[in-house]
């Protein structure tokens, strides 16, 4: 699969989170709708309201089963609006859906919903994770069985409103020559519904060992955290947001620091680049989206997949956006 394939023609699905459960590939996207809201930097036009899940045992031929709606914003007790990116993890036969959602004060938090099967449906807990904020949760299970969450997103994702896990009076990004705001990493409690510690900064260093700066928009973190492990290294991948690149950095430790390595995906049609990386049946795949089918409307995105390839030294071969 050298050319990206659209996975769900006719439906606007974005931010695909892919996992293998019980030998089958499951994809958890967000669901774009045309809400008639003008586009702006706060992302109000991304007014998603429910989640579907898709599964397949033949991703090469794109044969996906749509299991229907697995969670709706109306069924979440603390919901306000904007059901953004999500991810799913499994522990002891239970499946946990982690989702971004604004509360009734228009503040993003990360919620949890639970199911006894990967295709759902999922039932939301009564409240969000205590101490959670911002968007784009990604949950990774390490080799010792511990689960870690990576999260955060600038601008509409509200990460600039926090320092040291506390809300600040006036949210702003640092000056261009100052260290960039970081994605967050936190170990989950064994319950899978609480943080086991305070979230930490996931620091990305340049080739000289200095933290990436806020003005380095071609490389600094913006949103869309993802974690995978390959040949003894942790690979943290993310979107640069306003420069529309999908980049990655590597580390020997899950907490980092990470060293910037390069571009996974060059810009595609549409504003955001949100993704996941998953191994299935001996091949690695990049799941992402673009806005080609909707005529370039950034809030109506379509899910895609393409094979991901590594060089001998472990670096990822850059994929040209199409």
174 vs 80: CA distance, rounded Å = 29
Q: Tell me whether residue 15 is one of the annotated catalytic residues.
A: yes
Q: Tell me whether residue 223 is one of the annotated catalytic residues.
A: yes
Of the listed 15, 85, 201, 290, which one is catalytic?
A: 15
Of the listed 87, 119, 223, 290, which one is catalytic?
A: 223
Active site (catalytic) residues: 15, 223
């Amino acid at each position: 699969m050298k050319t990206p394939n659209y996975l769900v023609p006719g439906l606007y699905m974005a931010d695909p989170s892919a996992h293998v459960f019980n030998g089958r590939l499951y994809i958890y996207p967000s669901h774009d709708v045309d809400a008639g809201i003008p586009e702006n930097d706060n992302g109000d036009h991304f007014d998603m309201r429910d989640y579907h899940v898709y599964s397949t045992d033949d991703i090469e031929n794109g044969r996906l089963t749509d299991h229907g709606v697995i969670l709706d914003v109306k069924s979440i007790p603390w919901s306000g609006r904007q059901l953004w990116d999500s991810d799913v993890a499994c522990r002891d036969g239970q499946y946990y859906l982690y989702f971004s959602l604004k509360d009734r004060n228009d503040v993003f938090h990360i919620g949890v919903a639970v199911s006894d099967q990967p295709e759902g449906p999922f039932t939301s807990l009564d409240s969000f994770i205590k101490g959670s904020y911002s968007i784009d949760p990604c949950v990774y299970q390490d080799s010792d069985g511990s689960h870690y969450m990576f999260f955060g997103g600038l601008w509409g994702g509200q990460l600039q409103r926090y320092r040291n896990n506390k809300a600040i009076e006036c949210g702003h990004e640092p000056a261009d020559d100052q260290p960039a705001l970081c994605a967050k990493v936190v170990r989950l409690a064994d319950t899978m519904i609480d943080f086991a510690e305070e979230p930490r900064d996931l620091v990305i260093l340049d080739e000289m060992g200095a933290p990436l700066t806020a003005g380095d928009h071609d490389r600094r973190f913006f949103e869309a955290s993802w974690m995978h492990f390959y040949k003894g290294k942790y690979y943290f991948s993310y979107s640069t947001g306003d420069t529309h690149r999908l980049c990655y950095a590597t580390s020997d430790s899950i907490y980092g620091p990470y060293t910037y390595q390069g571009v996974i995906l060059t810009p595609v049609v549409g504003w955001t680049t949100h993704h996941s990386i998953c191994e299935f049946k001996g091949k690695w795949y990049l799941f992402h989206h673009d806005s080609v089918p909707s005529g370039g409307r950034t809030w109506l995105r379509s899910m895609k997949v393409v094979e991901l390839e590594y060089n001998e030294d472990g670096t990822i071969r850059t994929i040209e956006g199409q």
